[in-house]
Amino acid sequence: MRTPDLFRFNLRLLTGQWFRTLMTLLATAVGVAAVLLLTGMGEGARRFVLDEFNLLGNDVLIILPGRKETTGGLPPLTGEGTRDLTLDDAEALLRLPGVRTVAPLVVGLTEVEANGRNRELVVVGTSIELFRMRQLNAAQGQLLPVLPLERAEPVCVIGAEVRRSLFAQQPVLGRWLRTGDRRCRVIGVLEDRGVSLGTDMSEAVIIPVASAQQLFNTQGLFRLFVQVQHLDLIEPLKPSILDLIQSRHQGERDITLITQDSLLGVFDDVLQLLTLAVGAIAAISLVVAGILIMNITLISVSQRTSEIGLLKALGASERQVHRLFLSEALMMTLIGATLGVLTGYALLWGGHWLWPQFPVSVPLWALLGAVLLAIGVALVFAWLPARKAARLPPVLALKGMTDAQH
Amino acid sequence: MIRLQQLCKCYQLGDEPVQALDHVDLEIGAGEYLSVMGPSGSGKSTLLNMLGLLDTPDSGRYWLDDIEVSALGEEARAAERSRRIGFVFQAYHLIERLSARENIELPLVLTGNAPDERRARVDELLQRLGLDRHADHLPNQLSGGQRQRVAIARAVIRKPALLLADEPTGNLDSHSGQGVIELLEELNGEGITLVMVTHDPAMGKRARRRLWMQDGKLIKDEQDAHA
């Protein structure tokens, strides 16, 4: 039998029983669409998180005061150093060969007052280098001035959200803010980049690191970011950083070094697993669709018993009859899977349109997996009924009997 | 053309074993016109199914055109059916969702003939059987006589040597039945071997050779002298 003939023969069959066909198409389409939708959303979540954390760049090492074992699990996010990490340490690190820049970080919560309004806000003390590492730009005015690290200046850069809550629509550059017991002049506003999972800079007031140390009355740094000159220098620099700090801290290696990759790796693994899991759950619906296909093929075989007998009388071989029923199920599945892929993508893009921040993308393995699984399930589940049809004795089949009476 | 030797077939009907064919010996020459008559349950349909390779004997041997087809497997028998045998059934057995043309060309579709070739052959047959106006009609839009003509066209589209008809006029009124039987006889006149099962003596008498069966045995074999 020629393939176009087989195709036409099956199409007649499927359109002849359109309700039955529709139901099967629906089951397959829902299964495929569910796999695409769930894995697409899982993959979207993974990308969203990775993008948020990826802002720092791969060439940045994070130094935490205090020593923590980092074998497995998330690295420590709070440090309990025996010795403070100081600005002098930062200066020393900057002189290490291979280090491009160093950005210190001091973070604290304090009362901020301006324009007659009071807010409890995060105050971040750092240097201009941090803006460069995190690719933060000013929407208005300028970023922090280039200063020696230990010099305090009464200036600040505020996040977009801070600007809204304290100054509303009024002009803001050159206005004065009071952070704790100090005053500083607003020299810039950060561009609004939406929520950033790392640290939400839009709700922070950023001041020079020395000012923040005075404000919070501390010598210690919360974090130290070290950017290397080349990605390949990350690993060789780790021991030299540790040695340097050890020599500066009376022989104690009381810092923890982490890279962004190690942070992201954990998230990545977890989210990938999650995507896989929801995809597998959705795949169950495809197996259910397969069972439906088996039932439908069984019904088709018993409804068409006399037709099978006729085809055999006309000289159709067992293989031909087998192929006829398998191809019917296969065609139904292919149409259903196509509909499912279209629906799945349509829903995902619809979601992306409603919520543009959320990246959607169906991983290739999920797309191929869903379609191949649908086809595989159809073939496996239609195999038995098709074989049953193929093996019907022609005489009995012509009389409409499905079983030999022995 | 056909030679049966000691053919036996036994069915289990409920608890009763039924000897549908009981050591049947039969020879049929090419181009013969043969009717098989007998009461229901006498084994005449079983004989026809045996001849048509739709059923397998319990014992005995069957040669068709010097091939011992009783020794063939199902796939080989399907190939022989396709090449040498056409069937006409009492209940027509047309596929309801296919048009008259598609029903007729089905054997050619199964063997993988090209659409152009199929079309030419079907057109020729439709013309000849006076069905050209009904080519695109579905079976339920045709009369009984027209349906049986479509079924006959389907049976002979592959130009088989042997045409087997099981009560071909059983579902038809006498007028349509007459037309159908004349068509079958016309085909026989062109050289096709025709074996027809019927319980209608008037129909049976038209054949040049007449077999009577009872309890699986051939009890009478009559042949017109001038055949």
- Residue A256, Cα to own-chain centre: how many angstroms? 27
List CB contacts (< 8 A) between A16 and chain B: 97
Q: Do B79 and A315 touch (CB under 8 A)?
A: yes
Selection from A251, A249, A234 nearest residue A62 by Cα: A234
Chain A residue at shortest CA distance from B75: A317
Q: Go through the domains of chain B in sequence order and give each one's CATH number.
A: 2-223 (3.40.50.300)
Tell me the average pLDDT across B2-15: 89
> Given the DSSP bridges, would you call strands A155-158 and A182-190 parallel, antiparallel or unpaired?
parallel
Question: What tokens appear for B181 in the block?
Answer: 């039987």
Chain B residue whose CA is closest to A398 = B93
Helix (H) or strand (E) holding A366: helix A364-390
CB contact under 8 A, B95 and A310: yes
Closest CA to A283 of A193, A165, A367: A367
Centroid of chain to Cα B157: 13
CA of A28, closest CA in chain B: separation in Å?
25
Nearest-CB residue to A314 (from B74, B98, B110): B110
Q: What gap in Å lies between CA B38 and CA B52, rounded to an integer?
A: 19
Span B189-211, pLDDT tens digits: 999 999 999 988 988 999 999 99
Distance from CA of A382 to the nearest CA of B (A): 21
Cβ contact, residue pair A313, B75, below 8 Å? no
Phi, psi of A284 (to 5 degrees): -60, -35
Question: Hey, are the CB atoms on B97 and A317 less than 8 Å from each other?
Answer: no
**Tokens at A301, concatenated:** 């075989």
Q: Give residue A81's pLDDT.
A: 43
Residue A83 is predicted with a pLDDT of 74
- Decide the pairing of beta strands A182-190 and A138-141: antiparallel
Q: Are A12 and B138 in contact (CB under 8 A)?
A: no
Instruction: Select the residue from A314, A322, A392, A395 to test the B interface by mutation, using most B Cβ atoms within 10 A.
Output: A314
CA-CA distance, A261 to A72, in Å (whole number)?
13
Task: Name residues 260-319 of chain A within 8 A of B (Cβ).
Answer: 306-307, 309-319
Residue in chain B lying closest to A9 (CA): B98
Q: Are B131 and B149 in contact (CB under 8 A)?
A: yes
Cβ-defined contacts of B215-221 (< 8 Å, 24+):
B215/B19, B215/B22, B215/B42, B215/B43, B216/B9, B216/B18, B216/B19, B216/B20, B216/B21, B216/B22, B216/B24, B216/B42, B216/B43, B216/B46, B217/B22, B217/B23, B217/B24, B217/B43, B218/B24, B218/B25, B218/B26, B219/B38
Please answer yes or no on whether A317 and B78 come within 8 Å at the CB atom: yes
Give the whole-angstrom CA distance, residue B55 versus residue A226.
Answer: 87
Contact A316 B110 (CB under 8 A): yes
- Chain A interface mutation, best of B50, B88, B106, B119, highest count of A Cβ atoms under 10 Å: B106
Q: How distant is the Cα of A272 from the closest Cα of chain B, in angstroms? A: 50
CB contact under 8 A, A315 and B83: yes
Could B111 and A16 be called an inter-chain contact, meaning their C-beta atoms sit closer than 8 Å? no
Cβ pair B82:A395 closer than 8 A? no
Q: What is the pLDDT of residue A56?
A: 66
Contact B12 A405 (CB under 8 A): yes
Residue with tokens 């088709």: A300
Contact B54 A395 (CB under 8 A): yes
Q: Quick one: which of B203, B198, B224, B206 has its CA closest to B38?
A: B198
Residue B97 and residue A12: Cβ atoms within 8 Å?
Answer: yes
B81 closest CB neighbour out of A9, A315, A318:
A315
Query: In what order do the strands lie in the sheet containing B16-28?
Result: B16-28, B2-13, B59-64, B67-68
Q: How far is B97 from chain A (nearest CA, A)?
A: 7
Q: Is A251's Cβ below 8 Å from some Cβ in B?
A: no
Residue B195 neighbours by CB distance under 10 Å: 24
Name the DSSP class of A201: G
Q: Does A1 touch chain B (CB under 8 A)?
A: yes
Summarised one tens digit per residue, pLDDT across range B131-150 is 999 999 999 999 999 999 99
Question: Which of A:7-46 have CB within 8 Å of B?
Answer: 9, 12-13, 16
Widest pairwise Cα distance in chain B:
53
Give residues with Cβ within 8 angstroms of A113, minimum separation 6: A119, A177, A178
- Per-residue pLDDT tens for B15-60? 888 899 999 999 999 999 999 999 988 999 899 999 999 989 999 9
Q: What is the phi-psi region of residue B32: left when phi exceeds 0, alpha when psi lies from -120 to 50, beta otherwise?
A: beta
User: What is d(CA A42, CA A122) in angstroms, rounded to the nearest whole number?
Assistant: 32
Distance (Å) from the C-alpha of residue B225 to the closest C-alpha of chain A?
A: 34
Of A13, A313, A405, the CB nearest to B52: A313
Residue among B93, B106, B112 whose CB faces A2 most closely: B112
Q: Quick one: pLDDT at residue A54?
A: 65
- Asked if residue A157 lies in contact with residue A203, where contact means CB atoms within 8 angstroms, the answer is no
Return d(Cα A94, Cα A294) in angstroms, integer: 69
A171 Cβ neighbours under 8 A, 6+ residues apart: none
CB atoms within 10 A of CB A272: 14
Name every chain A residue with its beta carbon within 8 A of the beta carbon of B78. Answer: 312, 315-318
| Nearest partner of A104 among A84, A81, A82, A74, judged by Cα | A84
Positive or negative, the CA dihedral B151, B156, B160, B164 is positive
> If DSSP states are collapsed to H, E and C, what string results for chain B?
CEEEEEEEEEEEECCEEEEEEEEEEEEECCCCEEEEECCCCCCHHHHHHHHCCCCCCCEEEEEECCEEHHHCCHHHHHHHHHHHEEEECCCCCCCCCCCHHHHHHHHHHHHCCCHHHHHHHHHHHHHHCCCHHHCCCCHHHCCHHHHHHHHHHHHHCCCCCEEEEECCCCCCCHHHHHHHHHHHHHHHHCCCEEEEECCCHHHHHCCCEEEEEECCEEEEEEECCCC
Q: Provide, as residue numbers in chain A, all residues whose Cβ is less than 8 Å from the Cβ of B158.
A: 315
Give the number of other Cβ atoms within 10 Å of residue B117's Cβ: 11
Chain A partners within 8 Å of B117 (Cβ):
none
Give the nearest partner residue to A313 out of B83, B87, B95, using CB atoms. B87
Render each residue's pLDDT in chain A as its tens digit; 406 residues.
Answer: 888 888 888 888 888 888 888 988 898 899 889 888 888 888 888 887 777 666 666 788 888 887 655 444 455 555 444 678 888 888 888 888 888 889 998 988 899 988 888 888 889 999 988 888 877 888 888 888 888 888 888 999 998 888 888 888 888 888 899 988 888 999 999 887 655 545 567 888 999 999 999 998 888 888 888 888 887 888 888 888 888 888 888 877 788 888 877 777 777 888 888 888 888 888 888 888 888 888 888 888 888 888 888 999 998 999 999 999 899 889 989 999 999 999 999 999 998 888 887 777 888 888 898 889 889 888 888 888 888 888 888 888 887 665 543 3
CB A285 within 8 A of CB A30: yes
Disruptive mutation site among A306, A310, A403 for chain B (greatest number of B CBs within 10 Å): A310
DSSP codes joined into one string, A132-164 = HHTT--EEEE-------TT---SEEEE-HHHHH
Q: How far apart are CA A163 and CA B32, in angstroms?
A: 106
Residues A93 and A99 sit within 8 Å (Cβ to Cβ): yes
Tokens coding A126: 């750092």
Nearest to B75 among A318, A393, A406 (CB): A318
Q: Cβ contacts (< 8 Å) between B115 and chain A: which residues?
A: 5
Contact criterion met (CB below 8 Å) for B69 and B80: yes
Q: How many CB pairs under 8 A join A and B?
A: 73
Q: What is the ipTM of this complex?
A: 0.90
Question: What's at A56, amino acid-wise?
Answer: L
* Distance to chain B for A314, nearest Cα, Å: 6
| Angle subtended at Cα A262 by Cα A260 and Cα A265, rounded to the nearest 5 degrees | 105
- Min CA distance, B127 vs chain A (Å)? 22
Partners of residue A158 on adjacent β-strands: A189, A205
What DSSP state is assigned to residue A324?
H
